[in-house]
Amino acid sequence: MARQLHLNLFIHARGHHEAAWRHPAASPLALTDIRYYSDLAQRAEAGLFDSIFLADQLALGPDVAHAPRMWLEPITVLAALSGATSRIGLIATCSTTYTEPYNLARQYASLDHMSRGRVGWNIVTSWLATAAANYGDAGQLSHADRYARAEEYMQVVTGLWDSWADDAVVDDRASGLYAHADRIRRIDHAGPHYKVAGPLNMPRGPQGRPVFVQAGSSETGKRFAARHAEAVFTAQMEKATARDFYAELKALAAAEGRDPDQVLILPGLSPVIAATEAEAERLSRELNDLSDPEVGRSRLSGRFGGHDFSHLPLDRPLSPEDFPDPATVEAARSRTEVIIGLVRREKPTLRQLLGYLAGARGHYVTTGTPERIADLIEDWFTDGAADGFNVMPPVLPSMLDVFVEQVVPLLQKRGLFRTAYEANTLRGHYGLSRPPGF
């Protein structure tokens, strides 16, 4: 069978452009209205997307007055979406830094049962200093400490999901036997960060475990992904760096003894699509004109752990020396490296950089006709830069609809994308193996 493209819908606010909430084509529904999320998930399912994805943030952003980024708690949303959809995969973010592993394992096992095997977990190590303050920590954990805790966390939750054998539940009413107790085992984990006896108080889910998704691109993050991730969401600003990342991560996975085909690489793609190139450019300018550069400056500061950029003029070309060394940043280090790489290559002014980041926070932003977007997707897919894309529409739902109605049919005609769902689980959509039980 020919290799198939994978598409995920990343649902974020009213769209991935920071000014999307102001645009007349954005949904009129409140960001706290579950109908907003169920409507988007159903539109993506009609477009045969593999999955939808919800990010999370554990603190209120400082720019809330002019840039709403609020969303409902993602695990709760997935519970609702499991009943509002029937085939599309459902991926939610949850932090290893501020969530007890037993609670997380139980929640995701519940979701996997409720959705009949359509759940994925986006694994994050929370980096916001404001989040640390919300969870009683005296200070922000270092980058190294967050990943050290995450490695042990994976041991615990994997052990819990595997603590029931697939054949443990008998549910034989005639004999009176519900489960084979000898097919359920404790994990008795005792490590430097966690002490968990187990077993999980719930049978193994339809997928065995949720699909593991991860988005770190720092050196530590890439090695973590090579050991654990089955799908990797990555921010790449050009095809050349995307190819390098793709090759490196596949090689790292092979070095860990894993099949590289069982690790999907899905770069973010935020396209403004219109019937002509000129119209797409006009729509892009329209969105950028609604942006506030000072909101962008504040977000840039957050990306660099609170670094003060207030002294930088908006219209002077930037250099890497205008930024702190990424190695000293305890926030989202991979994204800081992407930003500095762009500055080194293109030497934009601060205004230009903020305009680009307003589109999708460091992911690949482009404009064009449906044919041009389909060409770009095919080029990256066939030339070793991606296994598919994390689609990030600048305005929701209007720019998702254009993608589904005009880009997806082109990909189908080229034999790159499914014309019907052939599986019922997220693992099935992604072509991933089911982890064996004991």
Q: Model-level pTM greater than 0.95?
A: no
Do β-strands 195-196 and 211-214 pair in parallel, antiparallel, or remain unpaired? unpaired
Annotated binding site for FMN: 56, 93, 143, 147, 217-218
Q: In Å, what is the CA distance from 390 to each residue of 111, 303, 331?
A: 22, 21, 22
* Structure tokens given for 242: 């995307």
**E strands within 31-70?**
51-54
Q: In Å, what is the CA distance from 317 to each residue of 230, 293, 347, 350, 355?
A: 39, 16, 6, 7, 14
> What single DSSP character describes residue 390?
E
Q: What is the pLDDT along the chain (438 residues), one digit of tens a residue?
A: 689 999 999 999 999 998 999 999 999 999 999 999 999 999 999 999 999 999 998 988 887 888 787 689 999 999 999 999 999 999 999 999 999 999 999 999 999 999 999 999 999 997 777 888 888 865 667 878 889 999 999 999 999 999 999 999 999 999 999 999 999 999 999 999 999 999 999 999 999 999 999 997 889 999 999 999 999 999 998 999 999 999 999 999 999 999 999 999 999 999 999 999 999 999 998 998 888 777 778 778 877 877 889 889 888 999 989 998 877 776 566 667 778 888 888 888 888 788 777 767 778 999 999 999 999 999 999 999 999 999 999 999 999 999 999 999 999 999 999 999 999 999 999 999 999 988
79 vs 99: CA distance, rounded Å: 18
355 vs 270: CA distance, rounded Å: 14
* Structure tokens given for 217: 């691109």
* Domains and their CATH numbers in the chain: 6-276+362-430 (3.20.20.30)
Annotated binding site: 56, 93, 143, 147, 217-218
**E strands within 322-418?**
364-368, 388-391
Q: What is the pLDDT of residues 221-280, one digit of tens each?
A: 999 999 999 999 999 989 999 999 999 999 999 999 999 999 999 999 999 999 999 999
Mean pLDDT (the chain, rounded) = 92
Cα dihedral: 214, 133, 155, 203 (round 10): -90
pLDDT at 345 (0 to 100): 86
Report which secondary-structure segment, H or E, holds 282: helix 277-289
Angle at 233 between CA 230 and CA 236, to 5 degrees: 135
Q: What is the pLDDT of residues 213-233, one digit of tens each?
A: 999 788 999 999 999 999 999
